Each structure stands twice: as structure tokens, then as C-alpha cells.
Structure 1
Amino acid sequence: MSVALDHSAPSAKAAGLSRRFYITAWRWHFYAGLYVAPFLIMLAVTGLIMLWTVTLYGRDGEKTYTVTPQANVAAVSVQAEAAVREIPGQIIQYIAPRNAEQASLFRINQGDRSFMVAIDPYAAEVLGHWDRRNGLYDLASTIHGTLLIGTLGDYLIEIAAGFAIMLVVTGLYLWWPRDGRGFGSVLAPQFTAKGRQLWKSLHLSIGFYVSLLLVVFLLSGLTWAGIWGEKFTQAWSTFPAEKWDNVPLSDKTHASMNHNGIKEVPWTLEQTPMPASGSDAGVSGTPEGQPVTLDAIVVLARTLGFDQRFQLAFPGDETAVWTIARDTMSNDSANPLMDRTVHIDQYTGRILADVGFADYGIAGKAMAAGIAFHEGDMGLWNLILVTVFCLSIIFLSVSGFVMWWKRRPKGATRLVAPSATEPGPMWKTGAIVMLIVSLLFPLSGAVLVTVLALDFILLRHVTRIKKILS
């Protein structure tokens, strides 16, 4: 009898510690989910809107109009003249058609407003025009990135993304089969279950399958964020302008080519200074001795291998350059390996810089591929995968709230968080793990430390608040 008791005591103690750690992980998952879930729903819904708007209409509206292919294409300069007659102003950008049935697009600034004009590339006739970046895609994109409240919204989303990593870690721990159950009980939903148990089973199984994808989406999205991206990750992985062979540099960076919060240049180039026109630097580009015209630049682009859709940014001032770009992030192609940016001196027509995917650093290459995947640009398979992923994230967020609602007692006036006894060694281990995970993301770590400090100093000593949050 005494031997049996000696063996059962350690076993009972181990089971108690394991249960305590499970409850602790559940509490972390619960509290993180309360903040993160609304953001995940917003990101998934706006992501779906952008994904399918691009698929049906094009990011810049290029699929709105179709044309009948003809034997001859009008000179781009003639097309540009037609665009300016429709919307008098300064031409900022030309977007070449993706295929023979698509229109050419011109972006024209008129004071503080910016318009897109669609031109039949064969007849050089105007098909229509619209306010640039004023459609459904752009509204969804602004909400997706800033919640329509600028920098504050960007910070709130960045905090949520950091805590979402914590949500994945604790979720995978909670998913792990225990109490004698095998993986079959969690790899596939238990459709025979009812009520909250069915919701829990669906939440566990679907959550497992999308967890890795969620981390990929969070990291690729975070690299655009104001703190973790621009100040932390992007700062050490920016393409070095020194790689360009002694060309004069502008005071502006590539980020100046972004407009109204819409990202239009490769991530790794954003903080790199632009080259400047007005010297003899560079290598041969347009034919020497001939005027550097719009048509000459377009011919050069085709000669350099920019087939189908590419974007051509016009010089904006006396030191600016022509910029030819193909960027998967901007939906120019479905292959990030084809990303390329070429800068040309507006006076000499010489090529000042030519940067392709192979020139990016490791982080830049990862971002070029990651953003293309994130946006569903890599083909039909990518479109379907991102659609299913977004719908899964919406379900996981909603099901989390449903399970919480079904678990709370009727008429409860508190959160009814998973209850825990006095914290022990395993609680401390869990706290340290979660603290390390969150501190990988500065804003989330700062918020976590603040919350823990408030809890230790204030919240746990105010009975009413403590009751509500319990």
C-alpha cells in the first residue's frame, strides 16, 4: 500500500502542474484573443475585398475596359496626348497593357486630385477615366493598413499582429492531444460532437492547419508596419545605393513614389535614395544624340525585356528620373523572380540603376516572394489558397467568441476567463516564453510589459476591476 502511494503522489503532482500550465496557456490565449480576434476579422475581410477586386477589376482598374486587338499600336506619346485632352494636367505614370485586349492607363495629377485615364492603345481613344485610389480596393487597403486613422491605426494593427503570434503558440499547445487521446482526435473535426464541443473541435482542427500560414501572413504584413518593419526589419535590409556605380543621388528615397499610403515600390528599395538626373553617369540606354522622349523610353523598356505589363513613372522635377518597374506586389506579374526596377537619366537617357530580384538581400527576396504570396498574385492556386485562408481566419475568430459565449454563465457580468489557482513554477515558465515571443515585436512587447505592470501594481488590488476581468 505504501509503495502504491509513493508512486501515485508524484504522478498526481505532475498531473497538477500539467493542468496548471494548460490553464495558464488557455488564459494567455483567451486574453490575447479578445484583442486580436476583431483585428483578424478586419484583416481577413479587407484582404478578401482587395484580393477579389484585383482579380475582377485589376488593382488600377485595368480590367474595367477591354479593346479589340488591331494590327498596329499607336505611339505611347499619342496615347498620352489623348489622355491629357481628357484630363488636362501633369502625367505622372504610364501603365502598359498586360495583354492585347487591355487598355493603356495613364495617371494624371490635376492639382490635389489624381485621375486614371484608360486609352485604347490601337486607336488612341479615351475609354473612360476615374479618380485614382478612390475605389473599393483602396478603401479596403487603407482600412487594412491604418483603420482609416493613420499612424495610430498602423500601431494598433502592429500590436495585434505581435499578439497573434502569441495566439498561435498557445493555440498549438492547447491543440496538442492529451488525456490519452491520439492525434486523430485533433487532426480532424469531431462532427459527432454537439454544442460547444463541436465548435471547439472545429476551432482546434482548422486552427492547426492554418497556423503556419497565419505566421507567414503576419510576418509578411508586419514588415510593412511602422515600427517592426520600417524601423527594425527594413532598416538593416535596405538595398544599398552604393551598389550603383557612382551615380548622383537624390534627397528623396524610393518611398516618395508611394502615394496616399499605398505601397508601390519593392519593400527592400523603399528606404534607398533615388538616383538623380543631370550627370554623365550610368551606362548606355536610349540612342545617344537623340531626344529622350516618352516613346524612346518605352522602346528601351521593351528592349530591356519589360514585356506585357510594366509601370513607367515620369520625372517629377529637374533632378528626377524616368523609372521603369515590374513589381509582383503591384500585380505587374505573377513571378517575383521577374521583379525589376530601372532608373534612367531624363536628360541623357543613360541607365543609372538596374535592380532585379537577384540583387536583393535575403530579407528583400523573402519579402518579394512573401508579399506576392500574401496578395494571392502567384496564380489560381494562390488565389484559392488565400481565399480559403481568409475564410478560415474569420471562422476561427468567430468560433472563439462563440465558445466563450457558450461557456459563460447566463447573466454573467464578468469576462469568465479560464480560472487558475495561485501561479506556480509552470506559470512562470509560460510567462517567460510568452514574454520572449512578444518582445520579438517591440510594440506588442511594450504593451505586454505595461499590462503586466498595471496588473501587478493596480488591477489585482481593485476588487471590482479584478472581478470583471476574471
Structure 2
Amino acid sequence: MTDISSAGIPSATNAEAAPVARSSVPALYRAIWRWHFYAGLFTVPFLVALAVSGMMILWIGFLDGRDGEYSLSVPAHTKTVAVSRQVAAAIEALPGARFVEYVSPRSETSPGLVRVDDDGEARMVAVDPYSGAVLESWVRRAGWYDWADDFHGSLLLGDLGDRLLEIAAGFGLVLVATGAYLWWPRGKAPKSEAFVPKLSARGRSLYKSLHRVVGFWTAGILVLFLLTGMTWTGIWGAKITQAWSTFPAEKWDAVPQSETTHAHLNHGGPKEVPWTLEQTPMPASGSEAGMTGVPAGTAVDVDSVTALAHDLGIADHGRFHVSAPGGETGVWTIAQDSMSADSHEPTADRTVHVDQFTGRILADVAFADYSLAGKTMAVGTAFHMGLTGLWNVLLNTLFCLSIVFLCVTGVVMWWLRRPKGSFRLAAPSVPNDVPLVKGVAFIALTLAVVFPLMGLTLIAVLAFDLLVASRLPALKRLYG
């Protein structure tokens, strides 16, 4: 929705009043401007929704913790009680509940967290690791963080919302690409205006200058956010990118595999399992496979598995999770993942599976074992979620505010340019000779293959624009 009137090229409104001036606007420029307008028209509501919900997730997680644990603290002592005692205390507080996972304290003054299944309801129980006393319990994933996360991922519309966001993210890339073409000052405008706003401008020209400069400084981060977000979507992410980049379970030499994938460790709600492992089958207990883990003769339980996490050095990088086996072939799982806010270091991510009968390590997957796509996602997702430190939280906040600013200035520019007292959409005019038709068709077909939902939508809109809207007088007046 960039306006071009201050770049030495007449606007669409001026062009209607001066046909000669309209012909002076390069056809390619008008075509790209039109697509920038359409991409912005579709994506603005989604970008605003994602930016606002993203800031909610960012600051709730930073101030209160992903599991709400920041609101609780305990006096530090020199000696802790056994983890099994902490788990027992949680079960005693909720009789009949089933132990699911233990989350180690984040610091010396943080409580331990025990996740349980209480008659089908997931609950978190905070326990003083020094005394074993229960501090508080609450329903897991039922706070504002989780509402915002669900809205951010699906608009609370399930699969439909996921698909709409995938299309919007794809058009967001179109918005960046077309905006990059429109960004560079043309005519006699100083080239410095590409990087520094012209604050002396007034009206639509000022909004255009601000929109252009802020768009330039945020474009790279926006592309990163769009791509890392799309990799979690149901079509381009799960069916194409993630499927081809999943960690191969075959690397676990002679280890029996379960029919269950790592995705079940998410236990609903926000993603917790590393992107590259989510579709990888879990190993299965009940064989002599693997390598020495829990010492022979030691009971394989939450205490010994937690001790193994310390022996492996996992505790040195932050908190970690110990998940109990699920079923007869289930395994104990030790996990530390920056995406779960366990540490500020994506390169420290590690997942270890332990046979529930023998205590042997069946699989040990670290960041170094990920594929290039997996490593990129581990770092990119942590950055996307603002989990690598306070600097990341502040930068992402500034970025989200910039996206809202771009959406608002884009709408304002459109409003100032549209004919007064008219209900027309006032899209940039269609060039009489659409340039580079073959090239545009090739790009559209390529997008349909790489980003199926967005590409197919783009082809449909392109066909409608060229074959219908530009030929029917009523629609032409409405869109023009």
C-alpha cells in the first residue's frame, strides 16, 4: 500500500485527472504497486493480530514464565529433598493424579514443577525443592499466555485459522518483495530518503516517507519471522519443510522404535519439542539396545534419571524436563529446549531417551546432530519467541510495534489517496500492457509449488484481476 506521489511519479488519483501523466508511470512500477496494494489489503489484519498477540506472549512469558513459575520463589538452602519426594508431595496434594513430568528449578530460589494428569486435566504443582512442601497448583495452559499463543497460531479457529495464517504469511513475503522494489527513491528525490525519513514532509508524503524507511529497517526480520512461523503451519510446514527436515530415527543404531512420535511430548498447548524432532518416532523400551546411562543395579526412576541429567551436564545450561514413560514401551525422556524457555542458548538443546527397564540411553540428540534446517529453526524459533535474553525481548517488541506502525501508515496512505465521498477501493490502476507476463506467470507457478496455499491463492487473484475485475465496468469502478 505504498504511495508513490512523492517519489516523482504521479499518484493514481492525480493520474485519473491527467491521462498524460498516467502514461508516464512505468507499467512495471504500476503493476508491482498494484500487487503491493493487494498483498497489504489482505495481510494487514493478520499482521496486526500477530504483532499484538506476539507481544502478549513475549511479555507474559518474560514476566510470569511460560508455566507461571516466575511468580513463586523459595528461600535458598544447601540441600534439596529427593525429586521422588517432590513428586509424591504433588500427588498427595491431588489424590489420584498421574505423574507426567518433572521440571527442574530454574534457579536456587525457584520451585520445582511437577506436571500431573488429574482425571484428564493437566495441572502444574509447584514444590519447594528444599522441604518438599507444595506451594501452589494450577490448571496447565489455561492462562493469558496460552490464549495468546493459541490465537497467534490459529486465530482460535483451529485448522482454518492455521491455513489463513499460512496464506497471510506467504502474501507477507510478496509484500516485502514488492515493497523492496517500490522502496528506492525515484526521480529527483535524494537517495538518503531510502534510509532516513523526510520529517519535513507533510500529509501523505510524510506517511510515505515513514512507511518506506521503517519498512526497510524491519524487512529482514519480518522475512525471518514469516518463514520461522510458516514452518509450524499445517501444509508448508508439516507436509513439506518439516517432513523433509525431520531428524532420522535410523541414526539410533539398532534401537527399537515406537509408533508414537515426539509430538506427543507436547501434551497439547504450545509447542515444546524441537521442530526437527517433532515428527521423529520415539524409541521403545524393552531391549538391551543403547549405551550405559543409569548405573547397573540402580532403580530406574525419576531420581536416577534426574541424576543422569546432571551427570550428562544438561543441568549446566539451565532447567530441564524429565518426562515419565507412557505405556509398557515408553521411555524416560530428559529434554532441554530453548523453545521451552529452558535456556537462552539454542545450541545447548538436547533430548535424551532412557529405557524404563534397563536405564540404558537409547537416544541422545544434541543441537550438533540437527540438520542445517533443524539448526536454523532452533535458533530462528528461539529468536522469534524472544527467548535468547532481554535484548531479544526488547528488539522483538520494537519489531512488533514497527509492524503495527507499517500497517497503520499503509491504511492512512490509502485513505488519503482514495477519492473523497466514494466507496471505491481505489487500487492502483492496471497497466494497459502488463509487463513481463511470462515472468510473472513463472513466479506465480513457482510460488504455487514452494508455498502451495499462497501460490494457488495468488494465481486465483491474478486471474480474477486480469480476466474479470479489469474487464467488467462495475468491478473496474469498484476496484479502480
Q: Is 1:122 equivalent to 2:130 in the alignment? A: yes
1:223 to 231, 242, 246: 231
Q: Is the 8 A contact 1:26 1:174 kept in 2?
A: yes
1:214 to 213, 216, 222: 222
Which moved further from structure 2: 17-26 or 103-112? 17-26
Which moved further from structure 2: 144-153 or 417-426? 417-426
Structure 1 partner of 2:409: 399
Give the TM-score normalised by the residue count of structure 2. Answer: 0.92
Report how far residue 91 of structure 1 moved. Answer: 1.1
Report how far residue 402 of structure 1 moved. Answer: 1.1
Report how far residue 257 of structure 1 moved. Answer: 1.4
Cα-to-partner distance string for 1:289-309 (whole Å, 9 max, x where unaligned): 221111111111110112140
Q: Is the 8 A contact 2:447 2:454 kept in 1?
A: no
Question: What CA RMSD, in Å, does the superposition of the two structures yield over aligned residues?
Answer: 1.8
Instruction: Number of aligned residue pairs: give it.
Output: 457
Aligned partner of 2:33: which letter?
W
Structure 2 partner of 1:134: 142
Which moved further from structure 2: 396-405 or 15-24? 15-24
Report how far residue 381 of structure 1 moved. Answer: 1.8
1:35 to 39, 42, 46: 42
Aligned equivalents of 2:119, 2:140: Cα separation in 1: 13
Cα-to-partner distance string for 1:385-425 (whole Å, 9 max, x where unaligned): 11111110111011111111111122211101112341333
Q: Is the 8 A contact 2:82 2:303 kept in 1?
A: yes
Q: Is the 8 A contact 1:203 1:399 kept in 2?
A: yes
Aligned partner of 1:212: which letter?
G
Cα-to-partner distance string for 1:34-58 (whole Å, 9 max, x where unaligned): 1111111111111111111111011
1:84 to 85, 88, 91: 91
Aligned equivalents of 1:145, 1:220: Cα separation in 2: 12
Cα-to-partner distance string for 1:119-155 (whole Å, 9 max, x where unaligned): 1111111111111001111001101111111111100
Structure 2 partner of 1:442: 452
Secondary structure of 2:69 counterpart: coil
Aligned equivalents of 1:83, 1:275: Cα separation in 2: 28
Report how far residue 430 of structure 1 moved. Answer: 5.1
Aligned equivalents of 1:157, 1:454: Cα separation in 2: 22
Structure 1 partner of 2:204: 196
Aligned equivalents of 2:437, 2:188: Cα separation in 1: 23
Structure 2 partner of 1:58: 65
Report how far residue 377 of structure 1 moved. Answer: 1.2
Q: Is the 8 A contact 2:444 2:455 kept in 1?
A: no
Report how far residue 284 of structure 1 moved. Answer: 0.6
1:86-165 to 2 correspondence within 5 Å?
86-88=93-95, 89-165=97-173
Q: Measured at CA, do residues 353 and 410 of structure 1 come closer, stay the same or move farther in structure 2, by a change above 3 Å? A: same
Q: Is the 8 A contact 1:25 1:430 kept in 2?
A: no
Q: Is the 8 A contact 1:24 1:427 kept in 2?
A: no
Report how far residue 204 of structure 1 moved. Answer: 0.3
Secondary structure of 1:267 counterpart: coil
Aligned equivalents of 1:153, 1:347: Cα separation in 2: 43
Q: Is the 8 A contact 2:469 2:479 kept in 1?
A: no
Q: Is the 8 A contact 1:251 1:274 kept in 2?
A: yes
Structure 2 partner of 1:360: 370
1:242-261 to 2 correspondence within 5 Å?
242-261=250-269
Q: Measured at CA, do residues 410 and 431 of structure 1 come closer, stay the same or move farther in structure 2, by a change above 3 Å? A: farther
Aligned equivalents of 1:17, 1:443: Cα separation in 2: 36
Structure 1 partner of 2:435: 425
Which moved further from structure 2: 411-420 or 391-400? 411-420
Cα-to-partner distance string for 1:168-222 (whole Å, 9 max, x where unaligned): 0110111112103232122111111112111111100000010011001111111
% identical equivalent positions? 53
Aligned partner of 1:259: which letter?
H
Aligned equivalents of 1:269, 1:424: Cα separation in 2: 46
2:189 to 178, 181, 185: 181
Q: Structure 1, unaligned stretches of length 5 or more?
A: 1-12
Aligned equivalents of 1:401, 1:391: Cα separation in 2: 16
Aligned partner of 1:222: which letter?
M
Report how far residue 436 of structure 1 moved. Answer: 4.1
Give the TM-score normalised by the residue count of structure 1. Answer: 0.94
Structure 1 partner of 2:12: none
Aligned equivalents of 1:447, 1:256: Cα separation in 2: 33
Aligned partner of 2:137: which letter?
H
Q: Is the 8 A contact 1:46 1:143 kept in 2?
A: yes
Q: Is the 8 A contact 2:31 2:434 kept in 1?
A: no
1:295-310 to 2 correspondence within 5 Å?
295-307=303-315, 308-310=318-320
Aligned partner of 1:450: which letter?
A
1:381 to 391, 400, 404: 391
2:361 to 351, 365, 370: 351
